[in-house]
Chain A
Amino acid sequence: MNEEYKREHVFGLDYGTSDFKFGPITLGEVPEVVENRGYFVDSSSLMSRLMGVRKEIVVGRDVPMFLESREELAKRMVYPMRNGIIPKDDERAWKVIEELTKYALEIFAPEYDDFQGFYAVASISVVAPRYMYERLFEVFKEMNRGRVLIRAATIIPQPLAVAIAHKTPTCTVVESGHGNTQVCPISMYPVRDAVIALNRGGDAANILTAEILKDAGYGDLAKEESLVRKIKEEIGLLPRNLSEAIQFAKSNPDKVRASLKIPGTRVKIDLEDLSWTRFLIGEYVFNPGHEIFQSYFARGMPRPGDVKIGDTYFYGMMDMAEAVITSVEKCPIELQPYLYSKILLSGGNFGWRIPRGLESVATTADLKSKEMLVEKGIENVEVVVTGDPKFSVWKGCIVYGYAVPIDYEWRWERMEGWMNVA
């Protein structure tokens, strides 16, 4: 096996909390995306036997075709990485990871004879414990039961992948996906003792969006999670300053009015005089403690709670700037200014855009974070949203795999290098 072969066969796998992004270096800048979930088919049911369904578990694009009733869904659908950590003994979750990994590799594994397996670079949460690394390597070995799909593999924490994609050795990475948010200072390596995890990501904004839809008379739609997510991405706005934005919305109703049609259905949504609530959606991501959300909590909207999973504490309500400061302040004082001067935001939950006509009141995640940090007295802050924030982890996986020479073997002390699995 030579270096040349490896460079052409690097394969990135980003196990996100809701989406799994994967694909070989040959895909260019954009990976394939499927939901990080698996559906356990009731193989004992008469119907599935009649229909000739032989699979025990379905992943990838075919999942929607197998869905049964709502109650069954809750029991049979497994999102293995919901909060970034898979419990050691959660066999169903590991089974999903195994199936998804196989699904991903088989889409791209070439049929030619001189194919000798990919060099797989996987990325998981920075709070993932060591047993997850061990188990994932086992999964990779399993992939080679028939023919060799993976020659060697390595695993890197998601924030490190982001830093690599941006070639920034000293920085603070804030990775906010669907289920959680990780704040991770990096000084060549992730400063693990300084990591702060939040028990919220894009899912929190979905919950608020559902409440807003209910208030606007679309209670039936509010139950469909994937629809709510799409509506949120379309209509949600991140305000520069919440009260000014609401003021603006109330005096310029036409400019802020949200109305949208769901393609392929007859559904049309118009928030009418509740259109000002569009600004609440983005604000909630950054600052769920704002008093304006109290009324929603009072009416029963669940509050993101503090939880402990494994050895990691996930904060529910801590605001985004506070999370960055708490994390950076756990690092040596001398390092802190460098960490503030390069803050990288990645993950879909930072994808907020400014629609035309709302430039004066809506903002983007980088400007919002900067403003919040400056308000808390931090100087010389520089924040950037990574280009294509949803894909920067995958891109980092590819860059890493490409650069690390094949003879650099995996070392547990450093958690780096290639583990031979073939």
Chain B
Amino acid sequence: MLRDSGPCIRVVCKLRSGDSDVEALFRALEAGEWKLAGPKLSKGEFEAEILSSSLEGDEVIFSLRSANPEVLEDFSRAAIRECWYIEVHYHLRAEAAEKAAENLGIKLGEKRVFRIKEFGVQLKVESFPAARALTISYRVGWGELNRNVMKKIHEKLINTKSPKSLLDRIMGWMK
């Protein structure tokens, strides 16, 4: 039925109340070379969709079309200038969910919320066994971004060292 489009990553930007607004956030992203076109932002081949913003204008959700941790970091670095903090959400299903659960040392078989500390960041992990789904979220600010926490967490959740990417690297080297 549905083709697995890979993990879905969302970035929630909490704006600094009072002195920042949605427009300022877009300007910051544009300064980071993310081009704004309608409900989408793009940088090279990478895309982010503006999913929604709260009517109060204190929060914007983006959906990243790429599971590339460098893109995630790049996007967040541009956005953080106008944010109080950024919340990253991973929405994983089926095998990807099971894999991540295993990497975090938890079982997907139980409907539960887990709080797990990784790289100095508190992860909130929610499991929905009946849907074979796992949601992981965490907050970062300047400090965490500078410590490359996003990339480390990404690698922990998603096994990036798959045979395919290895092959890709070899092919890249041959070229």
Q: Which of B15-23, B24-32, B127-135, B159-167 lies at the binding interface?
A: B127-135
Known A27-B133, A28-B10: A403·B53 in contact at CB below 8 Å: yes
Known A3-B56, A403-B55: A110·B126 in contact at CB below 8 Å: yes
A405/B126 in contact, CB under 8 A:
no
Known A110-B111, A402-B54, A403-B55: A30·B8 in contact at CB below 8 Å: yes
| B residues less than 8 Å from A33 (CB atoms) | 1
| B residues less than 8 Å from A27 (CB atoms) | 91, 131, 133, 135
**16 A-B pairs with C-beta separation under 8 A:** A7-B54, A23-B131, A28-B8, A28-B63, A28-B89, A28-B91, A29-B5, A32-B131, A107-B128, A108-B128, A108-B131, A111-B112, A166-B39, A399-B51, A399-B52, A404-B55
A259 to chain B minimum Cβ distance, whole angstroms, is 21
Closest to A28 in B: B91
| B residues less than 8 Å from A403 (CB atoms) | 52-55
A234 to chain B minimum Cβ distance, whole angstroms, is 11
In chain B, positions 139-172 with a C-beta closer than 8 Å to chain A are: none
In the bound complex, what is the Cα–Cα distance between A26 and B56 (angstroms)?
21
Mask, B89-123, CB within 8 Å of A = 1, is: 10101000000000000000001110000000000
A405/B131 in contact, CB under 8 A:
no
| B residues less than 8 Å from A261 (CB atoms) | none
In the bound complex, what is the Cα–Cα distance between A23 and B39 (angstroms)?
24
B115 to chain A minimum Cβ distance, whole angstroms, is 11
| A residues less than 8 Å from B133 (CB atoms) | 26-27
In chain A, positions 157-186 with a C-beta closer than 8 Å to chain B are: 166-167
| A residues less than 8 Å from B1 (CB atoms) | 33
Q: Does A112 contact B (CB under 8 A)?
A: yes
Closest to B131 in A: A32
- Other-chain contact of B61, A166, A167, A402 (Cβ < 8 Å): A402
B53/A111 in contact, CB under 8 A:
no
In the bound complex, what is the Cα–Cα distance between A167 and B50 (angstroms)?
10
| A residues less than 8 Å from B59 (CB atoms) | 7
User: Would you list the 8 A-B pairs with minimal beta carbon distance, nearest first?
Assistant: A28-B91, A28-B8, A26-B135, A399-B52, A107-B130, A29-B8, A167-B39, A402-B52
In the bound complex, what is the Cα–Cα distance between A404 and B53 (angstroms)?
10
Our count of residue pairs bridging A and B at CB distance below 8 angstroms stands at: 61
B66 to chain A minimum Cβ distance, whole angstroms, is 13
Q: Does B174 contact A (CB under 8 A)?
A: no
DSSP majority for the B interface?
strand
Residue among A110, A112, A166 facing the most chain B CB atoms (10 A cut-off)? A110
B128 to chain A minimum Cβ distance, whole angstroms, is 6
In the bound complex, what is the Cα–Cα distance between A399 and B59 (angstroms)?
13
Q: Does B2 contact A (CB under 8 A)?
A: yes
| A residues less than 8 Å from B91 (CB atoms) | 26-29
A310 to chain B minimum Cβ distance, whole angstroms, is 32
A111/B54 in contact, CB under 8 A:
no
In the bound complex, what is the Cα–Cα distance between A107 and B130 (angstroms)?
6
Mask, B26-67, CB within 8 Å of A = 1, is: 000000000000110000000000111111100101010000
In chain A, positions 365-422 with a C-beta closer than 8 Å to chain B are: 388, 398-399, 402-405
Closest to A404 in B: B55
| A residues less than 8 Å from B38 (CB atoms) | 167
In the bound complex, what is the Cα–Cα distance between A399 and B53 (angstroms)?
8
A344 to chain B minimum Cβ distance, whole angstroms, is 13
| A residues less than 8 Å from B54 (CB atoms) | 3, 7, 402-403, 405
Known A28-B8, A402-B54: A112·B128 in contact at CB below 8 Å: no
B93/A30 in contact, CB under 8 A:
yes
In chain A, positions 17-39 with a C-beta closer than 8 Å to chain B are: 23, 26-30, 32-33
Closest to A109 in B: B111
| A residues less than 8 Å from B53 (CB atoms) | 403
Residue among B52, B111, B113 facing the most chain A CB atoms (10 A cut-off)? B52
In the bound complex, what is the Cα–Cα distance between A139 and B56 (angstroms)?
30
A29/B63 in contact, CB under 8 A:
yes
| B residues less than 8 Å from A402 (CB atoms) | 52, 54, 61
B131/A107 in contact, CB under 8 A:
yes
- Other-chain contact of A405, B8, B55, B63, B112 (Cβ < 8 Å): B55
B100 to chain A minimum Cβ distance, whole angstroms, is 13
Closest to A112 in B: B113
B124 to chain A minimum Cβ distance, whole angstroms, is 10
| A residues less than 8 Å from B51 (CB atoms) | 399
B145 to chain A minimum Cβ distance, whole angstroms, is 22
| B residues less than 8 Å from A112 (CB atoms) | 113
| A residues less than 8 Å from B93 (CB atoms) | 30
